[in-house]
Amino acid sequence: MKIREWNKNESLPINLLLLADPSYSSIDECVRRGDCFIAEEEEEIIGIFILLPTRPRTIELVNVAVVKERQGKGIGKELVKSAIEKARQAVYKTIEVGTGNSSLEQLALYQKCHFRMISVDSDFFTKAYTEEIYENGIQCRDMIRLSQDL
């Protein structure tokens, strides 16, 4: 698997990005403001993530996604580790990530990659989306924010 920066004149793997965020407008803003990286195997795009500068020396990892057929094989963990390394190389001090209270797999993944929970944005998802979201039998209401010093 090779991870490289996505080139702005290439077509955007939108179906992949939609796995992590159902909102076209929020994807569009992240792509515009952040640096997008893609993981390829034999020229097929199998994963993606975006690094979005938010505050001085702080960067946020957003839109991490792996194609459905390849999930559960360690690719997500490789993407998160690569994002941390890229942020470190770019001399950021802190990397942050946010996920839903019901996103148990994602909460496991980020903590296995040494992120710590720092805050809860209560009712973030209830306010941001009109439709109710359920995962693992739990309503997704709150944004759990995680952080890692670099």
- Give the footprint of ligand COA on this chain (CB under 6 A): 19-20, 64-66, 71-77, 99, 103-106, 108-109, 112
- What number of residues does the chain have? 150
108 or 128, CB closer to ligand COA?
108
27 or 65, CB closer to ligand COA?
65
Q: Give the residue from 113, 98, 109 showing the smallest Cα distance to 145.
A: 98
Q: Residue 44 in 3-state DSSP? A: strand
In whole angstroms, how close is the CB of 43 to ligand COA at the nearest point? Answer: 19
- What's the 3-state SS for 56-69? CCEEEEEEEEECHH
In whole angstroms, how close is the CB of 101 to ligand COA at the nearest point? Answer: 12
Integer Cα distance of 71 and 57 in angstroms: 31
47: its two tokens = 């994963």
In whole angstroms, how close is the CB of 5 to ligand COA at the nearest point? Answer: 19
33 or 74, CB closer to ligand COA?
74
In whole angstroms, how close is the CB of 56 to ligand COA at the nearest point? Answer: 24
Q: Which residues pair with 16 in a beta bridge?
A: none
91 or 123, CB closer to ligand COA?
123
